[in-house]
Chain A
């Protein structure tokens, strides 16, 4: 059905279609509307899920872990400090091979208190073993959330998945949304290692180095297999519902001399900048990085690359710039912009391209070419 919705509403609608058995969540700005909407669906009987109103995010993830291993589909949503507060259990969920789906509404971290968009929260969970996708539109928030259940629950993956959407910029913007009848797109939840009291097992007991190490390799092997599963699921989604996605969204890249790499809403805004630059005769393109884990292979050879990081790893550099550098060998022009919801317009992005100096880093509006 074609309507309009906010990014938060789109996520809630996708969850409603996916019908998790248990949803456990704790409110935090700017994610709260997701859990409010879900609570409304559950109360109205539109969604037959158990909604567990936990007392913290740590408990939200712990409850999802308990429910997931008991044998039902699970979902939670959080943001910023909430994500960091559950960090221990975020690791646990992946280590326990539980296909929990979580929406994370990207938000800056205090102090000072700041509820606007930033990607540092998600990147702080980089090494947990979660799949991470970043979306750029309300429609994509819906589609990616639906696909997340299918990808995570695939027996070749069995890892949790995080759907990231920019706080306020996407969570609160109203755009068009086409909701779908999912039919049998999502198979019934099946966890091979679900708890079975007739076949009792120990889950996560003391484990020696040899077994522990092998389990970690199993996670990485599944993360590698996930690339193929993601492609499969995205292809099936396109066939069924007519919208296709990939590891990146490339815009006018074919003949580009310079490519802007950005994530989330800045990645969409960059497309407007590309049109302006093309009008000026600058052969620019943009590549919106959708998948962060597993990190995709990128074709950037022979081009200048401008990376916009809405994050920072202090004492090192922009997280995405570093990923591009290590994956492609290209020395990008690294722009740190949009932290704490800093306003970044398509004009600004066009300026980043015009003024690019590969090999240097610029803190937009604060410190140039450092």
Chain B
């Protein structure tokens, strides 16, 4: 079972990113679950979502304590949340960042999802949309296939710019 933890702030689309990722994995023929962890938080507070992908039906409902992959949609969270907590020794990290961050080395990747969203003018209520471009980056990392990522985005959104943004992230991410 492949376990992913997504860190974001309320309103940034982390919950939808988890759903999109599960849908893409599902379209790849895998079993997948997406589960947001809801606290009493409101817009702007750090939130976490969990995605599990497996070849077998998934019966686990508890939180992910030892993720294979950590995704950080807002690196400012790293000041207040230990995003690497429990990360497996062979685990990976994907940051929404234009630059590598100090202390985050090895299997830590970064891609400027915010810049990609802004370039496509993917903005809702003043916030760049991160949940669709991140799917492209995850496709590049091999978590899901690119066709399934695109299909999942089209199933949930009608605006084709979301697919373009995902492709841009796919191109930009270095692996």
Q: Give the shortest distance, in Å, between B132 (CB) and chain A (any CB).
A: 16
**Which residues from 51 to 96 on chain B have a C-beta closer than 8 Å to any C-beta of chain A?**
58-63, 65
**Distance between B5 CB and nearest chain A CB, rounded to angstroms:** 14
Interface string of B1-33 (1 = CB under 8 A from A): 000000000000000001100110010000111
Q: Does B116 touch A at the CB level, under 8 Å?
A: no
Whether a CB of chain B sits under 8 angstroms from the CB of A311 is no
Q: Does A271 reach chain B (CB closer than 8 Å)?
A: yes
Q: Please state if A269 and B62 are interface contacts (CB–CB under 8 Å).
A: yes
Report B-chain residues with C-beta under 8 Å of the C-beta of A362: none
Looking across the interface, which residue of chain A has its beta carbon closest to that of B50? A173
Contacts of B35 in A (CB 8 A): 169, 172-174
A269 cross-chain contacts in B, Cβ below 8 A: 59-62
Beta-carbon contact of A4 and B26 below 8 Å: yes
Q: How far is the CA of A113 from the CA of B34 in the complex (A)?
A: 25
The verdict on A43 contacting chain B, using a C-beta distance below 8 Å, is no
Q: Bound complex: CA of A173 vs CA of B37, how far in Å?
A: 9
Report the minimum CB–CB distance from A280 to chain B (whole Å). Answer: 18
Contacts of B157 in A (CB 8 A): none
Tell me which of B18, B31, B59 has the highest count of chain A C-beta atoms within 10 A of its own C-beta. B59
B38 touches A168 (CB 8 A): yes
Number of A-B contacts (CB under 8 A): 59
> Is the Cβ of B61 less than 8 Å from the Cβ of A170?
yes
For the complex, would chain B's binding face be called helix, strand, loop or mixed by DSSP majority? mixed
Is A84 on the interface with B (CB-CB < 8 A)? no
* Known interface pairs A30-B38, A115-B38; A175-B63 also in contact (CB < 8 Å): no
Residue of A nearest to B34 (CB): A174
**How many B residues, CB 8 Å from partner?**
21
Q: Is there contact, CB below 8 Å, between B61 and A268? A: yes
Say which residue of B19, B26, B37 sits within 8 Å of A176 (CB atoms). B26
A346 at the interface (CB under 8 A from B): yes
CA distance A170 to B60 in the complex (A): 11
Q: With A4-B22, A4-B23 known to touch, is A173 a contact of B59 (CB < 8 Å)?
A: no
Do A175 and B62 form a contact, CB below 8 Å, given A4-B22, A115-B38, A168-B38? no
The residue among B18, B26, B40 with the most chain A CB atoms within 10 A of its own CB is B26
Within 8 A of B (CB), among A123-152: none
Q: How far is the CA of A169 from the CA of B50 in the complex (A)?
A: 11
B45 CB to nearest chain A CB (Å): 15
Given contacts A174-B22, A266-B61, A271-B59, 6 further A-B contacts (CB under 8 A): A4-B19, A4-B32, A4-B34, A174-B32, A176-B31, A346-B60
Can you list 8 contacts pairing A with B, beta carbon distance less than 8 Å? A166-B61, A169-B61, A174-B23, A176-B26, A176-B31, A269-B60, A345-B62, A346-B62
Which residues of B approach A to under 8 Å, CB–CB? 18-19, 22-23, 26, 31-38, 40, 58-63, 65
